[in-house]
């Protein structure tokens, strides 16, 4: 029997897709990375995933796990591979409010989890523009970041336990809800961020936090990014670390986004060179109980900090959100970034991180460095300023591959000089294999290859991703 015939025997036949039915799995969100899957299976349980993996490995067929397929680095390209879609494994198995954990399957859409936990006054504090379609399995596989890393950390920090189907088909049960467990190696963290190269994440135990009962949100203009960081530090001290997001958009980026999407709202009456979207989340009664005049204490605290910044000459302009619709309009400008940035081709999608106090130097200096290579190069920049993650999209003057490589290497080199990373939150996939080969410590790569060989000796689990060839 062929592999397809065997899969039809163990799964619902309607959930084994071939030919034209595989078309929506043949490309990722960017449209850059296209493949031709051998077939797509859509299991409904961990047991079905396990049985599928066993058959594929016995047949020597590569396996590519997919959840929401919203990645930006080509991590789900599947030429001649069996795609295992986790989208039908979308159960929220349990929410335990007292323990503040949720036990969910890999196919749960992030927004769905947000809605389910809101009923308990809690939230899973991972947030970014793709939350309406991305899924928990992909969030874990790429160690997704987003705008709330400043307060809550990346996905790895929010995961207590995992269920993983190994390349042998065995099910590794690490579904602990413990905050402390010192029993040997922390195997869980091997799989978070591994992009499906070591196994298929099928479920997870996730940390929940109190859902903010009120937000204080504002657009702020400053003279320099150094002054913006001073404001951030003052806000953190004043609010007890309650700043959830601190997002930077330069004036030319805002102008490009407003031109591309005219329905977006300009942050200020007049253009500003430095635009900061900041948000403070509060749940303590003292911060969210309205004052006699109807104002919220947390909003008043923010406004006082902004007034102090203006008096010190650090804050040039500020607009505080006065309604939920106003807040949503501020966020819409920030969250439209990927759509606008990646619409233009060719593009170098550099997702880098540098120490917070060096972000301004990186942004100021990288443009001139690239222009020495390509006078026509342009850039689109946004930044999670609170955690040092810069999304630097460079537009070369031509699509000459050698030019693209030289510009990419220049970005990498400067990031390395600053003690940064060439991949902050988008993962490696295919896109950053050359960067891994050039910039990752050779000993670290050797150890990673040893781990891969130990768990996946046939090299069938999402092959050609994350690890460059030796």
pLDDT at 72: 86
Mean pLDDT score, 77-84: 96
Q: Taking the domain 3-85, which CATH number applies?
A: 3.30.43.10
Q: Identify the CA nearest to 224 among candidates 378, 385, 367, 389.
A: 385
Write down the number of H helices and E strands in the chain.
16, 18
Examine the pLDDT at 19 and tell me if it is beyond 90: yes
Architecture of domain 92-210: 2-Layer Sandwich (3.30)
pLDDT at 135: 97
Q: Taking the domain 214-337, which CATH number applies?
A: 3.30.70.2190
Examine the pLDDT at 373 and tell me if it is beyond 90: yes
Split at pLDDT 50, 70, 90, the class of 46 is: very high
pLDDT at 446: 97
pLDDT at 102: 98
Collapsed DSSP state (helix, strand, coil) of residue 259: helix
Mean pLDDT score, 295-305: 96
CA distance 261 to 248: 19
Q: Do domains 3-85 and 214-337 have the same CATH topology?
A: no
Question: What's the pLDDT tens digit per position in 262-294?
Answer: 999 999 999 999 999 999 999 999 999 999 999
Torsion of CA 439, 445, 446, 448, to 10 degrees: 170
Question: What's the pLDDT tens digit per position in 227-255?
Answer: 999 999 999 999 999 999 999 999 999 99
* Average pLDDT value over all residues in the chain: 96
Examine the pLDDT at 113 and tell me if it is beyond 90: yes
Per-residue tokens: 179: 């905050």
Q: Taking the domain 344-439, which CATH number applies?
A: 3.30.70.2740
CA distance 378 to 450: 40
CB atoms < 10 A from the CB of 168, how many? 16
Q: What number of residues does the chain have?
A: 470
459: buried, middle or exposed (CB in 10 Å: 19+, 13-18, 0-12)?
Answer: middle
Lowest-pLDDT range, 27-41, 43-57, 356-370?
Answer: 27-41
pTM of the model: 0.94
CA distance 466 to 265: 38
Q: Where are the domains of the chain?
A: 3-85, 92-210, 214-337, 344-439
Split at pLDDT 50, 70, 90, the class of 470 is: confident
H or E stretch covering 122: strand 122-123
CA distance 452 to 365: 38
Task: Tell me if 271 sits within 8 A of 282, measured CB to CB.
Answer: no
Lowest-pLDDT range, 82-91, 128-137, 364-373?
Answer: 128-137
Torsion of CA 356, 359, 361, 364, to 10 degrees: -160
Question: What's the pLDDT tens digit per position in 23-38?
Answer: 999 988 888 889 999 9
């Amino acid at each position: 029997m062929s592999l397809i015939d065997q899969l039809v025997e163990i799964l619902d036949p309607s959930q084994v897709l071939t030919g034209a039915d595989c078309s929506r799995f043949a490309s990722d969100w960017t449209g850059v990375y296209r493949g031709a899957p051998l077939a797509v299976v859509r299991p409904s349980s961990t047991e079905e995933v396990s049985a599928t993996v066993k058959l594929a490995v016995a047949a020597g067929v590569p396996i590519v796990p997919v959840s929401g397929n919203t990645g930006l680095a080509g991590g789900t390209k599947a030429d001649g591979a069996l795609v295992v879609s986790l989208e039908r494994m979308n159960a929220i198995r349990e929410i335990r409010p007292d323990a503040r954990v949720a036990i969910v399957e890999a196919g749960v859409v992030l927004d769905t989890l947000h809605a389910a936990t809101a009923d308990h006054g809690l939230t899973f504090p991972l947030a970014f523009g793709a939350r309406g379609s991305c899924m928990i399995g992909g969030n874990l596989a790429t160690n997704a970041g987003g705008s709330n890393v400043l307060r809550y950390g990346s996905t790895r920090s929010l995961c207590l336990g995992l269920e993983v189907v190994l390349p042998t088909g065995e099910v590794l049960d690490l579904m602990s809800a413990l905050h402390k467990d010192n029993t040997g190696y922390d195997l869980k963290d091997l799989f978070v961020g591994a992009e499906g190269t070591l196994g298929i994440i099928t479920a997870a135990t996730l940390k929940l936090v109190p859902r903010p009962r009120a937000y204080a949100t504002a657009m702020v203009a400053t003279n320099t990014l150094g002054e913006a960081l001073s404001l951030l530090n003052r806000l953190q001290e004043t609010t007890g670390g309650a700043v959830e997001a601190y997002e930077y958009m330069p004036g030319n980026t805002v102008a490009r986004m407003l031109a591309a999407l005219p329905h977006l709202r300009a942050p200020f009456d007049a253009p500003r060179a430095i635009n900061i979207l900041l948000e403070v989340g509060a749940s303590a009664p003292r911060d969210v109980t309205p004052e006699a005049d109807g104002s919220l204490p947390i909003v008043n605290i923010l406004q006082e900090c902004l007034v102090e910044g203006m008096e010190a000459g650090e804050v040039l302009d500020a607009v505080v959100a006065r309604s939920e619709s106003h807040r949503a309009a501020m966020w819409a400008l920030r969250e439209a970034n990927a759509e606008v940035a990646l619409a233009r081709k060719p593009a170098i999608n550099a997702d880098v991180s540098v120490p917070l106090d060096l972000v301004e130097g990186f942004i100021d200096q990288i443009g001139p460095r690239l222009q020495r290579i390509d006078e026509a190069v342009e850039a689109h920049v946004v930044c999670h300023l609170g955690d040092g993650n810069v999304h630097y999209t460079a537009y070369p003057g031509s699509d000459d591959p050698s030019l693209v490589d030289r510009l990419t290497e220049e970005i990498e080199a400067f990031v390395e000089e600053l003690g940064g990373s060439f991949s902050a939150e988008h993962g490696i996939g295919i896109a950053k294999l050359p960067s891994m080969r050039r910039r990752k410590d050779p000993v670290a790569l050797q150890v990673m290859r040893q781990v891969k060989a130990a768990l996946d000796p046939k090299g069938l689990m999402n092959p050609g991703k994350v690890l460059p060839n030796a």
